[in-house]
Amino acid sequence: MVVPRFVRQAIEGRPLTVYGDGSQLRCFTNVHDVVVALMALAATPAAIGEVVNVGNPREISIRDLAGSRVRDRRSNSSVELVDYESAYGKGLRGHAARASRT
């Protein structure tokens, strides 16, 4: 999980590891917000049998996320780009985007 790893690395003053070039886009959702949405859906009879997306459509690049963790933690950590092959071996590529779509 990228956010806890970034926070831990920033607190420890280590470089934040970003795989690839950091341009990968991801959407993050606060677990509390998901719980509130699910509870509201459970109490809504009209939601029965419906498909509902409770994700967050706002995308952020992993590189920008790493930078925000450094700023939030007032850390002196740098952002270290690590190519996929060095991290995972030959043939693995990252996904450019993982987004919540409605």
Q: pLDDT of the chain along its 102 residues, tens only?
A: 898 999 899 888 899 999 999 999 999 999 999 999 999 999 999 999 999 988 888 999 999 999 886 666 677 888 999 988 777 777 666 565 555 555
Whole-number Å distance between alpha carbons of 17 and 78: 9
Amino acid identity, residue 45? Answer: P
Which strand (E) or helix (H) includes residue 97?
strand 97-98
Strand order, beta sheet including 97-98? 59-61, 25-27, 97-98
Of 9, 28, 27, the C-alpha closest to 67 is: 9
Cβ contact 67:15 at 8 Å: no
pLDDT value, residue 92: 60
